[in-house]
């Protein structure tokens, strides 16, 4: 093989990087399996241990004192226990794919345990989560369903860090958990980004979209916006305001409540929003007008003007916001700024009206719906099942 010095350097660097990534992946898999197995042992002892009554509710504290393994404190042992209860289906994958990683004695225990059950998901007797409750649409036979569950389980075991699982086991809703499993598989977010997606209700937001699959694909773009369209969401959730009667809210009350909860409001708007003004007064001709809220987007380098309406979208709302955008273009645009963007927040969209009203706006005006209460989740279920089938 003929090579020059630069090729030699590149080959060594690429090989080292590849093998280092494999080593990190192997460590992650082994840590995940260790913690799941620890949870398995704890549950087995609680159910069948000869002296389990001696330890009772102090079992995890006593266990942490005795094993003295770094990282396995009583709270972490509790997470291991919950990990096993939430993902009992890992047992089938463990005996098929990873049995050679285990001591022979443990292999025998798991093989016997796996053969003693008829269906994946019934391992943990007191488990609140049963993977047989997850219907996979379009699959006629039980065998096909089990194969899909097994394939999905293997994917998450080899792709997730244990820290990802820690966030997932906090979710009681299996459908929500499956959604974030798929999100991790498709977008490989960091733990910080996963937490942000959870806190900003990515699950609920995708469920409200008429084009669920498209909205799902667009999630990754929202992480670090590169265009105006990446900033805007089709739905905004203001459930943190806790209004007792959402049907009787006035615009000034809504605006004041959002300012009072500015931190939560900015988190909901997304990454990059910086609050600049409320009721921004501008002079057009000899008449003053007030813009509800003004933000500056530090990533996209532009002003974002927000108008709040406690009613369905109307033509005059759009015309009003267009006027404010054009005023900002002429009077506030700096050399380093991009043109301003307007967001009209309404209780209900008239999509046909919006399509015609913003046709000449060059994508600088957007109409979004806001909700003061969270939606139901049923419309996401078919999408999740289909993704599980095809994943």
Domain positions in the chain: 5-170, 224-371
Residue 210: CB atoms within 10 A of its CB come to: 9
pLDDT surpasses 90 at 81:
yes
pLDDT tens track for 127-170 = 333 333 333 333 344 454 556 666 778 888 888 889 999 999 99
- The answer to whether 103 and 60 have CB atoms below 8 angstroms apart is no
Q: Name the CATH architecture for the domain at 224-371.
A: 3-Layer(aba) Sandwich (3.40)
Decide which of 191 and 24 is more confident.
191
Mean pLDDT over 255-280 rounds to 83
CB atoms within 10 A of CB 153: 21
Q: What is the mean pLDDT of residues 51-67?
A: 88
pLDDT at 380: 58
Task: For residues 103-121, give the mean pLDDT.
Answer: 60
If you search the block for the tokens 């500056």, which residue do you land on? 296
Reduced to 3 states, what is the DSSP secondary structure of residue 238? Answer: coil
- Bridge partners, residue 294, by sequence: 277, 305
Q: Give residue 209's pLDDT.
A: 55
Beta bridge partners of 368: 345
Q: What is the mean pLDDT of the chain?
A: 75
Answer yes or no: is pLDDT of 352 > 70. Answer: no
How far from the centroid of its chain's Cα atoms is residue 123's Cα? 28
Q: Rounded to an integer, what distance in angstroms lies between the CA atom of residue 380 and that of residue 38?
A: 34
Other Cβ atoms less than 10 A from the Cβ of 370: the count is: 19
The pLDDT score that the predictor gives to residue 391 is 56
Going by pLDDT thresholds of 50, 70 and 90, the confidence category of residue 122 is very low
pTM (2 d.p.): 0.54
Cα-Cα-Cα-Cα torsion 199, 203, 206, 207, nearest 10 degrees, comes to -130
Give per-residue pLDDT as tens, 173-227.
888 888 888 888 877 778 888 887 888 777 876 665 555 554 555 554 454 555 6
Given a cut of 60, whether residue 79 has pLDDT beyond it is yes
> Average pLDDT, stretch 114-118?
50
Q: Any idea which residue has 């609920």 for tokens?
A: 204
Residues 6 or more apart in contact with residue 297 via CB below 8 angstroms: 225, 231, 272, 273, 274, 303, 304, 341
**Is-contact 313 349, C-beta < 8 A?**
yes
> Could you give the percent of the chain with pLDDT greater than 90?
14
Where is average pLDDT lowest: 55-69, 219-233, 355-369? 219-233
């Amino acid at each position: 093989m003929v090579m020059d010095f630069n090729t030699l350097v590149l080959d060594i660097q690429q090989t080292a990087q590849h093998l280092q990534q494999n080593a990190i992946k192997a460590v992650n898999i082994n840590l995940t399996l260790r913690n799941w197995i620890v949870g398995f042992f704890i549950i087995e002892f609680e159910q069948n241990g000869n002296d389990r009554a001696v330890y009772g509710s102090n079992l995890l504290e006593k266990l942490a004192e005795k094993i003295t393994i770094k990282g396995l404190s009583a709270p972490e042992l509790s997470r291991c226990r919950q990990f096993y209860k939430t993902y009992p289906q890992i047992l089938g994958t463990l005996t098929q794919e990873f049995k050679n990683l285990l001591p022979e004695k443990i292999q025998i225990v798991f093989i016997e345990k796996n053969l003693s059950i008829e269906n994946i998901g019934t391992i943990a007797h007191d488990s609140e989560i049963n993977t047989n409750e997850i219907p996979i649409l379009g699959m006629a036979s039980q065998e096909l369903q089990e194969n899909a569950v097994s394939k999905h389980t293997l994917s998450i075991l080899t792709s997730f860090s244990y820290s990802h699982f820690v966030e997932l086991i906090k979710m009681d809703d299996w459908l929500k958990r499956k959604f974030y499993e798929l999100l991790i598989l498709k977008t490989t977010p960091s733990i910080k980004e996963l937490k942000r997606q959870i806190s900003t209700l990515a699950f609920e937001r995708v469920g409200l979209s008429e084009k669920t699959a498209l909205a799902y694909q667009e999630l990754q773009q929202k992480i670090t916006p590169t265009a105006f369209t990446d900033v805007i969401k089709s739905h905004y959730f203001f459930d943190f305001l806790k209004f007792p009667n959402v049907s009787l809210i006035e615009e000034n009350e809504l605006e004041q409540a959002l300012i009072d909860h500015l931190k939560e409001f900015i988190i909901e708007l997304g990454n990059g929003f910086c609050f600049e003004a409320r009721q921004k007064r501008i002079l057009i001709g000899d008449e003053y007008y007030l813009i509800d809220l003004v933000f500056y987007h530090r990533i996209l380098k532009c002003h974002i003007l927000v108008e709040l309406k406690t009613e369905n979208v109307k033509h005059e709302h759009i015309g009003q916001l267009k006027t404010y955008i054009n005023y900002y273009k002429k009077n506030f645009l700096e050399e380093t700024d991009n043109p301003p963007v307007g967001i009209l927040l309404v209780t209900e969209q008239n999509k046909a009206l919006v399509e015609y009203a913003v046709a000449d706006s060059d994508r600088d005006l957007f109409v979004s719906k806001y909700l003061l209460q969270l939606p139901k989740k049923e419309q996401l279920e078919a999408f999740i099942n289909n993704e599980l089938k095809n994943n």
